[in-house]
């Protein structure tokens, strides 16, 4: 069974994000970029399915700028077999990403596509669901446990009230939540090996998809800053302040 995993290059989750003074966006010049953390979890899950003998090939795909090759190489070093970069400098919104991914899926014909539940830059949480819709495949979002057996995946999902388990027939879409697994670090030999694994670069135009953004960003601003308050000396002091000053208890 072939697996496809979508990995996005995003600002590293440790970076303190700064809004640009001209309100056109956030400052990405010279900041550390990494694989979206949820996508690391997706790659890890796919590689484990391969190690368990359930998957035969893991293909990773990224859409975006040339440097996304680094993200793909990281995925290859984690154990993916082959990579595809749909290279573009254009702004891609989730609907466009889903349409491009659909075109890739149509070519590659995987049985399972694993994505992150959310990219930590745009915080959209849409692409997997949209891809499932366009393919008319079932979706198991926010997965914390995946069991693939035969022509079905049984997936435990993190929902607001607790956990829910679904059975989806393959081919299917899965999006990862934080508790699905703990991604491995790539070892040095594997990083070296990854340099030799195939990485195809394709032009989005060749996929025949309309990727024009539907949303125009008018401005990006800093949220109202919270002022730090005071330190209290004791629990008694705290309770008194909450009662008489803040009046919240």
Partner 1 sequence: MAVLVIAEQGAGSLKPATLNAVTAAAKLGDVHVLVAGAGIGAAVEAAKAIAGVSKVLSADSADYAHGLAEALTPLVVSVAKGYDAVVASATTFGKNLLPRVAALLDVQQISEVVAIENADTFVRPIYAGNALATVKSADTIKVMTVRATAFDAAPAIGGSASVEAVAVIAGSGKSAFVGQELSKSERPELTAARIVISGGRGMQNGENFQLLEAVADKLGAAVGASRAAVDAGFVPNDYQVGQTGKIVAPDLYIAVGISGAIQHLAGMKDSKVIVAINKDEEAPIFQIADYGLVADLFKAVPELKEELDRSA
Ligand X SMILES: Nc1ncnc2c1ncn2[C@@H]1O[C@H](COP(=O)(O)O)[C@@H](O)[C@H]1O
The reply to whether 6 sits near partner 1 by the rule CB under 8 A is no
SS3 31: coil
SS3 54: coil
Considering only residues 111 to 130 of the shown chain, the ones binding ligand FAD according to CB under 6 A are 120
The b-or-e profile of 175-208 (16+ CB within 10 A means b, else e) is: bbbeebbebeebeeeeeeebeebebeebebeebe
Tokens of 164: 């829910």
- Please, which residue, 80 or 156, has the CB nearer to partner 1? 156
The reply to whether 33 sits near ligand FAD by the rule CB under 6 A is no
- What distance in Å separates the CA atoms of residue 194 and residue 22, rounded to the nearest whole number? 40
The reply to whether 122 sits near ligand X by the rule CB under 6 A is yes
Considering only residues 55 to 94 of the shown chain, the ones binding ligand X according to CB under 6 A are 62-64, 92, 94
Residue 37 beta carbon to partner 1: minimum distance, rounded to whole angstroms:
9
CB atoms within 10 A of CB 112: 25
The reply to whether 41 sits near partner 1 by the rule CB under 8 A is no
Tokens of 134: 């366009």
The reply to whether 110 sits near ligand FAD by the rule CB under 6 A is no
C-alpha separations of 41 from 36, 106, 174, 222 in Å: 9, 24, 11, 30
Partner from partner 1, ligand FAD, ligand X, none contacting 71, C-beta within 5 to 8 A by type: none
- Please, which residue, 24 or 124, has the CB nearer to ligand X? 124
The reply to whether 37 sits near ligand FAD by the rule CB under 6 A is yes
- What distance in Å separates the CA atoms of residue 59 and residue 171, rounded to the nearest whole number? 15
Number of residues that bind ligand FAD (CB under 6 A): 3
- Please, which residue, 93 or 154, has the CB nearer to ligand X? 93
- Please, which residue, 13 or 195, has the CB nearer to ligand FAD? 13
- What distance in Å separates the CA atoms of residue 171 and residue 200, rounded to the nearest whole number? 24
Choose, by CB under 8 A, the member of 52, 123, 150, 189 that binds partner 1.
123
- What distance in Å separates the CA atoms of residue 139 and residue 10, rounded to the nearest whole number? 24
Partner from ligand X, ligand FAD, partner 1, none contacting 244, C-beta within 5 to 8 A by type: none
Q: Which residues bind ligand X (CB under 6 A)?
A: 6-8, 36, 38-39, 42, 62-64, 92, 94, 97, 115-116, 118-119, 122, 124-128
């Amino acid at each position: 069974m072939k697996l496809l995993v979508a990995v996005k290059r995003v600002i590293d989750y440790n970076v303190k994000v700064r809004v640009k003074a001209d309100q056109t966006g956030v400052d990405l010049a010279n900041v550390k970029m990494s694989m979206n953390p949820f996508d690391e979890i997706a790659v890890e899950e796919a590689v484990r399915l391969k190690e368990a003998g359930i998957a035969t090939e893991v293909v990773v795909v990224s859409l975006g700028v040339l440097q996304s090759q680094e993200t793909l190489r990281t995925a290859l070093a984690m154990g993916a077999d082959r990579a595809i970069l749909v290279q573009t400098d254009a702004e891609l919104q989730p609907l466009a990403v889903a349409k491009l991914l659909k075109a890739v899926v149509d070519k590659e014909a995987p049985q399972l596509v694993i994505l992150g539940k959310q990219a930590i830059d745009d915080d959209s949480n849409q692409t997997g669901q949209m891809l499932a819709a366009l393919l008319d495949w079932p979706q198991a979002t926010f997965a914390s446990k995946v069991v693939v057996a035969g022509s079905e995946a049984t997936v435990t999902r993190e929902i607001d009230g607790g956990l829910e388990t679904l059975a989806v027939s393959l081919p299917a879409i899965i999006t990862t939540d934080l508790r699905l697994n703990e991604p491995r670090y790539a070892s040095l030999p594997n990083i070296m090996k990854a340099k030799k694994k195939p990485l195809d670069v394709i032009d989005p135009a060749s996929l025949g998809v309309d990727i024009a953004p539907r949303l125009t960003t008018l401005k990006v601003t800093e949220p109202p800053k919270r002022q730090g308050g005071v330190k209290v000396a004791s629990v008694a002091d705290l309770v008194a302040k909450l009662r008489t000053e803040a009046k919240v208890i």
